[in-house]
């Protein structure tokens, strides 16, 4: 079965500290993987996708097929990074997204 696991419900760090939000997936094929973010009182929005290998707002994520992971990283957290982060995969076909349970990132001053 296709599944996305985010093991941490809450990640609490201080400003300037490195951040790593973990995401593991189970899928037998080659999925497309994404990170979505929801800031307080805002819509859920796409942060980045693995196919574009981009860095958005200082965040990067590398797909590790051997470990079936797609962890989200940022070297120096900022207070404005505080939000709910969701990892998601699409197995193709009709492009439905399968989401993890989400990790709340709290960055303290």
Applying CB under 8 A, which residues contact other proteins?
4, 6, 9, 32, 34, 36, 43-46, 49, 51, 86, 88, 90, 92, 94-102
Residue entry with tokens 């990640």:
11
CB-wise, 81 or 100, nearer to other proteins?
A: 100
In sequence order, the β-bridge partners of residue 70 are 63
43 vs 66, which CB is nearer to other proteins? 43
Residue 52, classified by CB atoms within 10 Å of its CB into exposed (0-12), middle (13-18) or buried (19+), is exposed
Q: Which of 28, 21, 22 is nearest to 3 (CA)?
A: 28
Whichever of 13 and 44 has its CB closer to other proteins, that residue is 44
Q: Write down the least CB distance from residue 22 to other proteins, Å.
A: 14
């Amino acid at each position: 079965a296709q599944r996305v696991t985010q093991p941490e419900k809450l990640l609490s760090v201080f400003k300037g500290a490195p951040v790593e939000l973990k995401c593991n997936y189970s899928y037998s094929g080659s999925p497309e993987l994404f990170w979505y973010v929801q800031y307080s009182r805002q819509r859920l929005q796409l942060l980045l996708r693995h196919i574009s290998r981009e860095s958005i707002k200082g965040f990067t994520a590398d797909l590790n097929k051997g470990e079936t992971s797609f962890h989200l990283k940022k070297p120096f957290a900022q207070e404005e990074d505080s939000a709910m982060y969701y990892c998601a995969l699409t197995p193709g076909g009709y492009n439905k997204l399968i989401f993890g349970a989400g990790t709340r990132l709290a960055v303290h001053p």
